[in-house]
Structure 1
Amino acid sequence: MLQISDLHVSYGHVEAVAGIDLEVRPGQVSLVLGPNGAGKSTTLNAVAGVVRPARGSVRVGDLDTTGLPAHRVVGAGVALVPEGRRVFAPMTVEENLRLGGHTTAPGRAREVLERIWEIFPVLHERRRGAAGLLSGGEQQMLAFGRALVSDPAFVLLDEPSMGLAPAMVDVVVEKVGLMAESGIGVLMVEQNAEAGLGIASDVTVVNRGQVAFRGTSAEVRADASVLRAFLGESALAEG
């Protein structure tokens, strides 16, 4: 289990995260929703070792990873897919993937890469082409693959549907579901509430760095006012 307890993160005198608690279980998708500036991305970055918490703890199983640098967090089994994808555009697709696997045991590297080709066949087709020539959706697939090649137990997804066409959002959601089905625990931050609710087992709404609501996807759907209160009337797409 990935367990986040009483997490606090500050930027100078501004407290961006003020006591968030979250749990992510293997094989499940935990969804985090909230308005811009609520502390969602900062929470992921603190878990991933990109920023250092001021207080609280992060545990991966029995291992306390609080405040560890990012490369050690990856080694502990947690991989971050950042907002905006951030692929290395001049490098080939395969080179991007191999960079993500620098912590993978040599005996596992080829096996893991073969699994990624199976999950994302478009990456195999484009493996020798520059990452910058991929479409936005294909770059998101590459960002997923780059995280998975480290053979993680948990994946952190920061706004994976951002900027994508509706059809590609459906593909992204499908791939996230496949991650969970393979046994990986997924902590996903999303603005597209409807897309996230379709695959999430539990939902946490954060506002001003704190937990404002916690429940199952079914409970959120039954009380859409919860989402509208924090995300506005457009939080739930029609249909």
Structure 2
Amino acid sequence: MLDVSDLHVSYGNVEAVRGIGMTVRPGRVTLVLGANGAGKTTTLKAVAGLERPHAGKVTLDGTDITGLAPHKIVRRGIALVPEGRRVFSPLTVGENLRMGGYTADRSKATETLDRVNEMFPILAERAGSAAGLLSGGEQQMLAFGRALMSQPSIMLLDEPSMGLAPAVVDSILAKVRQMADSGIGILMVEQNAEAGLDVADDVVAVARGEVVFSGPAAEARDNTSVLRAFLGEAALAGTDD
């Protein structure tokens, strides 16, 4: 289980994340919603070790991992799938997957690859193809697969549907649900709120670096705090719940 408590992250004099807290449980999708600049990606980066918090705590299964180097956090069981996929385009699909397993238990590499190929059959079919030749949706599946090769207990997904055709978005988010159903805890930032809510179990809505709603996805759809957070700063002038 991943716990984020009273997290604060600043860029110079600007505090981008101000006391954010959330819990990500095994087998559940926690969706983070908010307008651009709300602090969503910064939160993921702080959990992954790419940004160092100046206050607060991140724990994984009760162990404090706050501020650890990214490769150490990967070894502890947290994998980040960044915005824009960022596959290694010149490398083959198979090479990308092997790179994902670089820090993992080598004795389980074959078993893990088999599970990845079972979940994403297209990756097995394209194993010898350059990753840069894949479609956007296929590259997103490769990014998922590469992260899974590290044998994570928690996956951080930053805008997995970004830049994808509407017809592809549902299949990509269905894979997110499938990964959660396999027992992995998913913390997902997703601008496509409607599609994200369809696969989420829990929702955290953030505005101006702060949590304005935290609860089950079923309660988020009609919550005005969630709507205002997602619509942006101008909408925050409305009346509170």
- Partner letter of residue 228 of structure 2? A
- Return 5+ residue gaps in structure 1 as ranges: 234-239
Q: Is the 8 A contact 2:205 2:230 kept in 1?
A: no
Structure 1 partner of 2:227: 228
Q: Would you identify which runs of 4 or more consecutive aligned residues in structure 1 move more than 4 Å? A: none
Query: What CA deviation, in whole Å up to 9, does each residue of 1:180-216 have, x standing for no partner?
Result: 1100000000111111111111101001110011221
Q: Is the 8 A contact 2:212 2:225 kept in 1?
A: no
Query: What CA deviation, in whole Å up to 9, does each residue of 1:148-181 have, x standing for no partner?
Result: 0000000000000111111210111110011111
Q: Is the 8 A contact 2:34 2:231 kept in 1?
A: no
The number of aligned residues is 232
- Partner letter of residue 231 of structure 1? F
Structure 2 partner of 1:237: none
Instruction: Give runs of aligned pairs for residues 182-197 of structure 1, distance below 5 A.
Output: 182-197=182-197
3-state secondary structure, aligned to 1:102: coil
CA distance in 2, matches of 1:2, 1:201: 15
Q: Is the 8 A contact 2:50 2:69 kept in 1?
A: yes
- Partner letter of residue 209 of structure 1? G
CA distance in 2, matches of 1:194, 1:201: 13
Structure 2 partner of 1:96: 96
3-state secondary structure, aligned to 1:222: coil
Q: Percent identity?
A: 62
The CA RMSD measured in Å over matched residues stands at 1.1
- Partner letter of residue 227 of structure 2? R
Structure 1 stretch displaced more, 26-35 or 160-169:
160-169
CA distance in 2, matches of 1:201, 1:10: 29
**How far does residue 227 in structure 1 lie from its aligned partner after superposition?**
3.7
- Partner letter of residue 94 of structure 2? E
TM-score by length of 2: 0.94
CA distance in 2, matches of 1:15, 1:232: 21
- Return 5+ residue gaps in structure 2 as ranges: 233-241
3-state secondary structure, aligned to 1:84: coil
Instruction: Give runs of aligned pairs for residues 160-175 of structure 1, distance below 5 A.
Output: 160-175=160-175
- Partner letter of residue 79 of structure 1? A
Structure 2 partner of 1:85: 85
Structure 2 partner of 1:8: 8
3-state secondary structure, aligned to 1:198: helix
CA distance in 2, matches of 1:43, 1:230: 16
Structure 1 partner of 2:236: none
- Partner letter of residue 180 of structure 1? A
CA distance in 1, matches of 2:82, 2:148: 13
Structure 1 partner of 2:158: 158
Structure 2 partner of 1:179: 179
- Partner letter of residue 38 of structure 2? A
Query: What CA deviation, in whole Å up to 9, does each residue of 1:88-125 have, x standing for no partner?
Result: 10000111111110111111011001100000001111
